[in-house]
Structure 1
Amino acid sequence: MIPKLPANIDQIKGFLADDEALALYRYALQASANGPVLEVGSYCGKSTIYLGLACREHNGTVYALDHHRGSEEHQAGEMFHDPDLFDSSLGLVDTLREFRNNIRAANLDDTVVPLVSSSAVVARQWCTPLAMVFIDGGHSLDAALCDYRCWSAHLMQGAILAVHDLFPDPHKGGQAPWAIYQMALQSGLFEELERVNTLGVLRRL
């Protein structure tokens, strides 16, 4: 199932492969019939658009959580730093403007609710059960553990937990997303549905 995508989707900055993006759309389309979707780590909005297009089919909502200051690997001097997203006047990465422009261009302002903060802050008083959570935030172990612990508890029964950038082989990528994915499986609270490229998909039992 392929959604009608914005004409500029391939030009939107991001690190999501096409097969991963379509899998996100497919699972969000199912999940959003039951409740809202929350994404951790929106960057410039590419994954958010796929989630948003799915949720719009059910008049649903995507909560797009990101502090928009970039993950560790996006900072100046790091491997994935993008100078176009660096605010030299502040000396900080700032992806919020690009994100909002992309969401507006995709006509998803009524579907996507930006949450400009961290998991720890937003989850502190969060009460809404979630039908799907997509974790693609900071890739340090502390950041990934925080995202998992903050949001896995808010998944309703049967909800989807998707985690991006899974690399079982440490020579191919960072291990923090893989660690929380394994933690979820070992908890006995989740079953694995499938792996698509570096995207893992679990269901809350």
Structure 2
Amino acid sequence: MPSELLHAAERAKGFMPPEEGSALFETALRYGPLGPICEIGTYCGKSAIYLGAAARQAGSVVVTVDHHRGSEEIQPGWAHHDPALVDPRFGKMDSLPVFRATIAAAGLEEDVIAVVGRSERVAALWNTPLGMVFIDGGHSDEPVTLDYEGWAPHVMEGGALAFHDVHPDPADGGQGPYRVYRRALESGAFAEVAVHGSLRVLERVGQGI
């Protein structure tokens, strides 16, 4: 990964550990040549820099989908809440301005396309086969399930489905991503190919989800 983009990713606001970010970059570099890369859960653009850097090298593009109003764990009163991201005009979270500044500063505006909207609404309109889908939106059961059901069918044969924040031990984090990751494996449509911390990478090997 180019040093200037690695530096930009590491200083960007977000929750992606550097070693998992580097693994995400390598995954996108491997699967990006197959087709577009889709990220579910943009927040402030930290992981989009890793993906965008890989897309540029792979001749691909990243589409990152988020309503930018924040998942439940970053709302007021929750552990990961950042008051700086609250829009005082509406009293709601809004990470879109920070995301745009982050991607512009990294020089990735031609490589990373933002789609602002709820994941399941965008997925219902989507038709393009994807080389990789990275699910890192809401972490309770309902949003992860909706992300999986909406986007996994668009992963092409041989493409990748990656989950972030997969914690087999409940003491380490919420279980929504872990349960849906297990569902993907048990479907027979995906086989695990890599584990990097809480990042799980599956490859599409069959039909159905």
Shift of 1:30: 1.3
Displaced runs of 4 or more, over 4 A: none
1:96-141: CA deviations, max 9, x gaps? 0000001011111111110101111101121000000000000111
**SS of equivalent to 1:28:** helix
Shift of 1:89: 1.9
**SS of equivalent to 2:202:** strand
User: C-alpha separation between the residues in 2 aligned to 1:117 and 1:98?
Assistant: 16
In the other structure, the counterpart of 1:146 is 146
Shift of 1:202: 0.5
Asked if 1:203 corresponds to 2:203, the answer is: yes
- Structure 1 residues without counterparts, runs of 5 or longer: none
Asked if 1:73 corresponds to 2:73, the answer is: yes
**Contact 2:8–2:106 (8 Å) recurs in 1:** no
User: C-alpha separation between the residues in 1 aligned to 2:54 and 2:22?
Assistant: 10
User: C-alpha separation between the residues in 2 aligned to 1:193 and 1:149?
Assistant: 21
In the other structure, the counterpart of 1:48 is 48
**Contact 1:59–1:111 (8 Å) recurs in 2:** no
Amino acid at match of 1:136: D
Amino acid at match of 2:3: K
**SS of equivalent to 2:125:** coil
1:143-182: CA deviations, max 9, x gaps? 0000000000000000011100011111221000001100
How many residue pairs align between the two structures? 204
- Structure 2 residues without counterparts, runs of 5 or longer: none
User: C-alpha separation between the residues in 1 aligned to 2:9 and 2:144?
Assistant: 27
Superposition RMSD on alpha carbons, in Å? Answer: 1.0
**SS of equivalent to 2:67:** coil
Identify the structure with the greater helix proportion.
Answer: 2
**SS of equivalent to 1:171:** helix
1:29-77: CA deviations, max 9, x gaps? 1111111000000110010000000001133210010110110011111
Q: Provide the TM-score with structure 1 as the length reference.
A: 0.96
Q: Provide the TM-score with structure 2 as the length reference.
A: 0.95
Shift of 1:8: 3.8
In the other structure, the counterpart of 2:2 is 3
User: C-alpha separation between the residues in 2 aligned to 1:86 and 1:196?
Assistant: 32
User: C-alpha separation between the residues in 1 aligned to 2:76 and 2:18?
Assistant: 27
**Contact 2:10–2:18 (8 Å) recurs in 1:** no
In the other structure, the counterpart of 1:119 is 119
In the other structure, the counterpart of 2:172 is 172
**Contact 2:159–2:203 (8 Å) recurs in 1:** yes
**SS of equivalent to 1:50:** helix
**SS of equivalent to 1:32:** helix
